[in-house]
A and B are shown apart, each in its own frame.
Chain A
Amino acid sequence: MPQPPASSHYGSSVQQNGSYTQGYLFCLLCSLYYLFKIVFPLKNMSSPRFPPPPAASSSFGQVPQSPYQNIAPQATPSTHQLTNQISNILGTFALNSLYCEWLVSTKLANNNLNKHEPLWNKDHLSKKDILIQNSPQNLQWNICLNLCFNLGGSAGPYGGQLAGPQPGFPGSFPGGAAQMAGPPQKKLDPDSIPSTTQVIEDDQAKRGGQIYATNLRGQIPPLVTSNFTVQDQGNASPRFMRCTTYTFPCTSDLAKQCQVPLGTVIKPFATIPKNETPLYVVNHGETGPIRCNRCKAYMCPFMQFIDGGRRFQCAFCSCINEVPVFYFQHLDHMGRRMDLYERPELSLGSYEFIATLDYCKNNKPPNPPAYIFMIDVSYTNIKSGLVKLLCEELKTLLEKLPREEGVESSAVRVGFVTYNKILHFYNVKSALAQPQMMVVSDVAEMFVPLQDGFLVNYQESRAVIHNLLDQIPDMFADTNESETVFAPIIQAGVEAFKAAECSGKLFIFHSSIPTAEAPGKLKNRDDRKLFNTEKEKTLFQPLKGVYEQLCKDCVAQGCCVDLFLFPSQYLDLATMGDVPTHTGGSVYKYSNFQAEVDGTHFLNDLRKDVEKPIGFDAIMRVRTSTGFRATDFFGAIHMNNTTDVEMAAVDCDNALTVEFKHDDTLNEETGAFIQCALLYTTVGGQRRLRVHNLSLNCSSQLSELYKSCETDTLINFFAKSAYRAMLNQPLKNIREILVNQTAHMLACYRKNCASPSAASQLILPDAMKVFPVYMNSLMKTPAMVGSPEISTDERVLQRLCVMAMGVEETQVLLYPCLIPLQNMDVSSSVLPGAVRCSEERLSDNGMFLLENGRLLFLWLGQACPSELIQSLFNVPSFAHLPEELNSLPELDNPQSKKVHAIISAISERRTNRMKLLIVKQKDRPEILFRQHLVEDKGLHGGASYMDFLCYVHREVRQLLT
């Protein structure tokens, strides 16, 4: 048996097979293995005691054609034996804890690691670049984790019980493990496992600030966290579409084998930064957009013009179509149309068509959409000060309704309804001297009592509206009505839009569970006894019946529902949120709302929500080239059939995830095309078609697939599919499926793509190297963990929100951004670099910002420098901070300004306005904050990152045998 080389050999091994090029991490972990070998002799372990290489090692499924030399030693020590060895060394017995082993190996590893880290870092980075240039086809980025498992003394090699983690769930380890392990040991350096912040930083360093031109098929875009500029050169910007992988496997067998989901996350109305070109609008006049006669795909850069330009072949169904006379253009010597660059639909990935009347309801041009504000004026909302706050805010907010590009004022009409257990509609016609209130108490059969004067142009009726908004808080100031209705108000909105023949959005400001006698009456069904049982799913399921029908009605009319909730207790969000989530709306929840405390946060949300760009009455179709098709859709959508995605509205934050499945074999040469066409009504009342095109590579090599995977998109896919599955399956099953699939993907990679290595090594594809941390975080999200400390509504809310999230939002939600502030450079304009989300990174004398797209924490260490406290809070020291810290004062000093600047910079790029929570170390609310340190063990259950890796590794190994 060759003696494992000393650490310096790593360098050479990398050079030899060119496999281990990515980062220190791999090297570090690989080194563990060797270190064992080094260590054992040191401990007087004579080599003869090593058994010969087990036959099992070949069963790992080495890729026969792999040109790489296995970096792992030929003789892999059996774990079983290793354990014994270690037991002996450490003089401990009954080492049935995985943790012990981990610690041992890590401890040992650390010793060596620190010495070499800098060297590797530098070395590998530079070498990687070279390698890419020289032999890209040979490139294989692996992350190997060498993990050792105690498989139990008496059990077979791998059949042993895993004592540490709870069965079926990568839970926490027994508390006594550390003691059992004998002498006090250092913890494993967390830096040794793949770091998300590092990946983000690297990508930003490499691709940030650059132009990303979408001219290549199957091109992998920069990470969502990176700051880049897109140049549309024939494929849709990654802001609109992101794929789980940019290389599809050629056959369904391959796809099944690897279990990497093939999907794309589409955010059709994604906000485009100012420095990128907005979408061109193509108008073909009365003929409308040019489409393939057979599959109805829209004209796009993938269409092939033949026959001198007289005909074109559809890229999606291969049908050959005549080019309409007015559209004819000669081809150049390359077979491209001469007007290629004059026509967006021939040269760009994303563009819009003006739709003709054929694309409109009843063949009539649509009316501009309308916004209806429906305010619950029951006791709770009056008392909390919401109604007053809201009415005041609306006066200014209505000035900023979304409007068509280049148009003076918004065409969106507005209407107002207040309600408790009966509804009050308001006539705010401009001709009136004062508004008129119309009460509808017949909630059983809702209708809209007026048409003319209900939906009005704000500019025209401003005086009457202001009059109304002034009066509403006073009118109900003495109310003692505490009962509310809910379904009837949505019904009323739908009816209003129906009567006005337009689409639109309802803004509902609701306080409590609707208990008044009316359709859609709800009762408390929040039973925490159901947590972690088979029946837990019922808590997430909306009640059928009234709300189901409402969803259909809303979508049919293009009525989007945005729900702002101000509950003081359970309100069956699962049911109440059903309509918003099926109509492309959002749900906001402000528990125990107090206008003074939560007002700003709410208003920020509201402003953003009202102002955001949006399209109405949308119907989307995802067309694909032959060989595969869209089979599943996740998101805040409604589907009447299997292909048409209907959304009452799509705004700039709505994203839906589409899964593809093979129909047939894909061709490596032609690749795969996806066209997403969205028909919608603009805020100005124009019917348009938005088309996004994307071309992908196809390969029969799984390694290609793994290479072009996108972790952030993958996790978005998994999050949505898991959150959807919550409705039908127990959480336990879902977690199992998630882990299994994770393990499967990794095992498949290991089996087919990675160079043969020791079973004890966990090998992660480079593109997926931080995938486990996200996956672990996903499984720890409140929705996925039934804990009595988290309210059902809160879990439901998260579930609903995630369903509509895009890649960017799921990324930050599952791996929050933790920014240290204590050492910030006040003079610099860049954000301080984030650190890993782990308690270890916090320090008593530090101050940290943590944000996950929904919440923003400012964590103050107990030993936080007094100067910093002084400059931020204007109190002398940490001890002087008040009990209740609700806001961060804006003070005139560089530190304060910088922190505010950082906060606003963070907020700017998020879809939601985040509420700032200031958390003091060791204070009770700190629990909230700690939940978001996703690398640590979950407070309500759920493994730490490290434990999870171990668990996955075990699964992988089981799969490989």
Chain B
Amino acid sequence: MATFQEFIQQNEDRDGVRFSWNVWPSSRLEATRMVVPVASLFTPLKERPDLPPIQYEPVLCSRATCRAVLNPLCQVDYRAKLWACNFCYQRNQFPPTYAGISEVNQPAELLPQFSTIEYVVQRGPQMPLNFLYVVDTCMEDEDLQALKESLQMSLSLLPPTALVGLITFGRMVQVHELGCEGISKSYVFRGTKDLNAKQLQEMLGLTKPAGQQAGRGPQTTQVPLSNRFLQPVHKIDMNLTDLLGELQRDPWPVPQGKRPLRSLGVALSIAVGLLECTFPNTGARIMTFIGGPATQGPGMVVGDELKTPIRSWHDIEKDNAKFVKKATKHYEALANRAAANGHIIDIYACALDQTGLLEMKCCTNHTGGYMVMADSFNTSLFKQTFQRVFTKDVQGAFKMAFAGTLEIKVQLEIGTGGTCQWKICGLDPSTTLALYFEVVNQHNAPIPQGGRGAVQYVTQYQHSSGQRRIRVTTIARNWADAQSQIQSIAASFDQEASAILMARLAVYRAESEEGPDVLRWLDRQLIRLCQKFGDYHKDDPNSFRFSETFSLYPQFMFHLRRSPFLQVFNNSPDESSYYRHQFMRQDLTQSLIMIQPILYAYSFNGPPEPVLLDSSSILPDRILLMDTFFQILIYHGETVSQWRKAGYQDMPEYENFRHLLQAPVDDAQEILHSRFPMPRYIDTEHGGSQARFLLSKVNPSQTHNNMYSWGQESGAPILTDDVSLQVFMDHLKKLAVSSAA
């Protein structure tokens, strides 16, 4: 048998699933003693270009409470044309179309390599894709211009049948009617008054007159495929391009010392309402572009007086942020409405100050939307990111899916949310969910030896082609008795996945709990894990050993504790929300980068190499490339930067220096090109102000406190009181072996 490492990798590649434990403890009690819960990271739409879409519908278990999908793990009686559900043991007849089934003639879903399989539902109408742009007009002309161009560009990226709509807002909210000849029309709403879906429908004139409906018979009752506000791209792209081109900055004067009045809350509400009453349960993206915080109406996050700054973490802790609760409530309600209809809300916030992402985070988080934060719409960060939203796969379909729902079929276990069905709305190939399972088997009713637990992930979604698709992933893991087989369970530990899963739990807690409590909880979990799986003599820290499968885990936790996901110090509430948002949806690799950034070193001493994320890595003759997921930073060491200033790179005889300078840039570009959202690209040098990004990430092994006692030629001291990894580990060992704990 291959190593667990290989098994894990193979599983991930095939099914997009990674479990914290790949052998499961067989009872609830044992499971809780494992410290790290049995949980999985699941990437529902993992790119599988090799996966053939199955042009028929899945066969379901006939038990009403089960409805699991036929899968390779099912026992099949080919003669009787029966199959046994491996979740509820119900015996099911195959449908008539499966009459020709036999050992040699198996449908794809029974082949073991199709543990993940995708069905294309043929029934029902092709649903259009909706893209509703919600655009803030309270921004500098330069920004607005850039945004307009990006939006115009995006029209060309949309499939011609997709429906687009445009809502702009400033002091007022304008819903633009598309495809008008001669005059451009828009419906305008007060930015301070929230409207429910019914009111909105009336005001937009979307209600059909009762007389007409009765007169024309049943065909009019069908949902119209477009309306005045949402029209196919191919019909109105010229019109919309012009409309966007004429878009003016919000014309209402902004008095000195005031913020522009921005009715984001109402705009979003109208967007949600519009889609709600026109395209319920149809894939739709509400793409919101904001250049500042909402300053009036429901959902406002700050008043329009410039002299009162937008809330900080400090204000929130002191309960001094009067708008937060109300605004959050407003956006939560919107998010829930959108989610209920399978609509996605994306937020592209580009401003130097905060824009209220803290309050709005649920909009993206509940609907699977994107949250992008940048300084300006006129940055490549925004432009590229936005363009990347519309990336297409080899078949020319968007790498995004709509109106998704995920259902989990499990044997004996249920999810932590108390449900086994979730609505995700927006999915892309990297969207990764963490699912936490609970072993419900009682301690005294052990699972028979060799028994396997199975989990089936059923993801239904609307493909960007308009088709409804169902992707079914069925996996199984062995059960093990935790007392007798603790070794095999320990060996099945996936420390990377576990770190992310724990981190997500911690972030989830951090949303609702005080920061120090979360850290304390995280520490306790770590200590308990060390106690459970470490190898040590009581009260002898030096004797502590961790097996290889656990060895990196404490380091991840160390960096996690320092990460912006749990530390709000030095971060605005918006930044925290943004970081957490990304962390909660990216796949394992990206998440690991977020926790523990990658550091590469470039020097004349050899080829580029990954180096420790440690202050000792910062050397004068090195160029460092750090990838924190959010930032790509190139740091020129003291000597290198002096060379660069001296212009050696331009001299023909120092071409090698030029190459050295270029190398990290090329690598950075590569990352920049592949990542969504696009990271902030920082080029800095020793002593540069932007170097703080690097210095805040590296392990402060040298600080102003200890720099003289440590080695002589190593790195740069970090001016911090944070503990270094060494100190952290020492404490951890001490606590883990302590008998008092």
Contacts and interface: CB of A to CB of B under 8 A. Distances in A.
A629 to B, nearest CB: 43
A438 B174 contact: yes
B190 A436 contact: no
A451 interface: yes
Nearest to B205: A441
Given A442-B203, A450-B172, A451-B252, A475 B183 contact: yes
A840 interface: no
A471 B185 CA distance: 12
A447 interface: yes
Given A432-B246, A433-B246, A449-B174, A442 B186 contact: no
Contacts of B188: 425, 438-440, 449-450
A475 B253 CA distance: 31
Contacts of B203: 422, 441-442
Given A437-B184, A441-B203, A471-B182, A451 B189 contact: no
Contacts of B185: 424, 436-439
A542 B518 CA distance: 67
B73 interface: no
Interface in A411-443: 422, 424-425, 432-442
Most buried by A among B183, B195, B204, B253: B183
Interface string A442-455: 10010101111100
Contact of B184 (A434, A441, A442, A452): A434
A722 interface: no
B193 interface: yes
B273 to A, nearest CB: 13
Contact of A436 (B184, B193, B202, B204): B184
A818 interface: no
Interface string B147-177: 0000000000000000000000000101001
B643 interface: no
Interface in A439-481: 439-442, 445, 447, 449-453, 467-468, 471, 475
A862 B186 CA distance: 60
Which of A438, A471, A499 has the most chain B CB within a 10 Å cutoff?
A438
B98 interface: no
Contacts of A475: 183
B569 interface: no
Contacts of B710: none
B187 interface: yes
A436 B252 contact: no
B396 interface: no
Nearest to B193: A445
A450 B251 contact: yes
Nearest to B185: A437
Contacts of B186: 436-439
A308 to B, nearest CB: 51
Nearest to B204: A441
Nearest to A437: B185
Interface string B190-213: 100101000000111100000000
Contact of A445 (B190, B202, B204, B252): B190
A436 B183 contact: yes
A845 B600 CA distance: 115
B274 to A, nearest CB: 13
A179 to B, nearest CB: 64
Contact of B183 (A447, A450, A468, A499): A468
Contacts of B183: 434-437, 467-468, 471, 475
Contacts of B174: 438, 449
A435 B203 CA distance: 22
A438 B204 CA distance: 12
A434 B184 CA distance: 8
Contact of B202 (A425, A441, A471): A441
A105 to B, nearest CB: 73
Contact of A449 (B172, B193, B195, B248): B172
A38 to B, nearest CB: 84
A898 B522 CA distance: 105
Interface string A840-856: 00000000000000000
B251 A452 contact: yes
A425 B193 CA distance: 19
B187 A441 contact: yes
Contacts of A471: 182-183
Nearest to A501: B253
Contacts of A438: 174, 185-188
A475 B190 CA distance: 25
A453 B190 contact: no
Nearest to B251: A452
A238 B193 CA distance: 54
Nearest to A426: B183
A483 B78 CA distance: 71
Contacts of B204: 441
Contacts of A451: 251-253
Interface string A371-385: 000000000000000
Contacts of A499: 252
Nearest to B200: A441
B182 A434 contact: yes
B70 to A, nearest CB: 52
A445 B188 CA distance: 12
Contacts of A432: 246
Nearest to A474: B182
Contacts of B195: 442
B78 to A, nearest CB: 65
A440 B175 CA distance: 10
A468 B183 CA distance: 8
B189 A442 contact: yes
A442 B190 CA distance: 8
A952 B179 CA distance: 73
Contacts of B184: 434-437
A449 B171 CA distance: 9
Contacts of A442: 189-190, 193, 195, 203
Nearest to A424: B185
Contacts of B246: 432-433, 436
Interface string B49-72: 000000000000000000000000
Contacts of B187: 438-441
A447 B205 contact: no
A436 B190 CA distance: 18
Interface in A11-65: none
Contacts of A435: 183-184
Interface in B548-597: none
B213 to A, nearest CB: 16
Nearest to A438: B188
B29 to A, nearest CB: 60
Contacts of A445: 190, 193
Contacts of A436: 183-186, 246
B42 to A, nearest CB: 45
Contacts of A437: 180, 183-186
Interface in B211-269: 246, 248, 251-253
A491 to B, nearest CB: 12
Contacts of A440: 187-189
Nearest to A436: B184
Interface string A497-530: 0010000000000000000000000000000000
Interface of A: 422, 424-425, 432-442, 445, 447, 449-453, 467-468, 471, 475, 499
Given A425-B188, A442-B195, A499-B252, 17 more contacts: A432-B246, A434-B182, A437-B180, A437-B183, A439-B177, A439-B187, A440-B187, A442-B193, A449-B174, A449-B188, A450-B172, A451-B251, A451-B252, A451-B253, A452-B251, A467-B183, A471-B183
The 4 closest A-B pairs by CB, nearest first: A452-B251, A449-B188, A441-B203, A437-B185
Interface of B: 172, 174, 177, 180, 182-190, 193, 195, 202-205, 246, 248, 251-253
6 contacts: A436-B186, A439-B177, A440-B189, A447-B172, A450-B172, A475-B183
